[in-house]
Amino acid sequence: MSRQLLFAMAGFLLAGTYRTPEGVTANVMEKLAAEWDGWTAHDDSYIVDGESVVVLARYTARNRATGRPLAVRVAHHFVVRGGLIVRFEQFADTGLVRDAACR
């Protein structure tokens, strides 16, 4: 099985390259759950072209430290091979995320 490469956008609070599902869980999902109430990615539409899948979506949440709400449009690009995600890249307005998270 090939390694998964998952990227959070530069400037995003949890930006980085995570090579395994466990890395994403520990370094992204668990931290989002700890720092935000109700973090949700709402998938609005899918665009599929061969192995490429683009999901146009929204993140909504409330930051626990600041109490500020977040509502931001995002795009996620996946490469899918053999039914497995082998690459993920996130595109988001990192300024809106930062504004909600910083005092």
What pLDDT, on the 0 to 100 scale, is given for residue 103?
73
Distances from the Cα of 48 to the Cα of 9, 84, 88, angstroms: 21, 15, 14
C-alpha 59/C-alpha 74 separation (Å) is: 7
Sign of the Cα torsion 93, 19, 43, 63 reads: negative
What pLDDT, on the 0 to 100 scale, is given for residue 44?
96
* Cβ 12 vs Cβ 92: under 8 Å: yes
Decide if pLDDT at 2 tops 70. no
- From the number of C-beta atoms within 10 Å of its C-beta (0-12, 13-18, 19+), residue 75 rates as middle
Copy the structure tokens of residue 42: 């709402």
Strand partners, 62: 37, 69
| Domains of the chain: residue spans and CATH | 5-101 (3.10.450.50)
Decide if pLDDT at 5 tops 80. no
Copy the structure tokens of residue 48: 């599929």
pLDDT in tens, 16-73: 787 777 777 788 878 888 999 999 999 999 999 999 999 999 999 999 999 999 999 9
pLDDT in tens, 59-100: 999 999 999 999 999 999 999 999 988 888 888 888 888 899
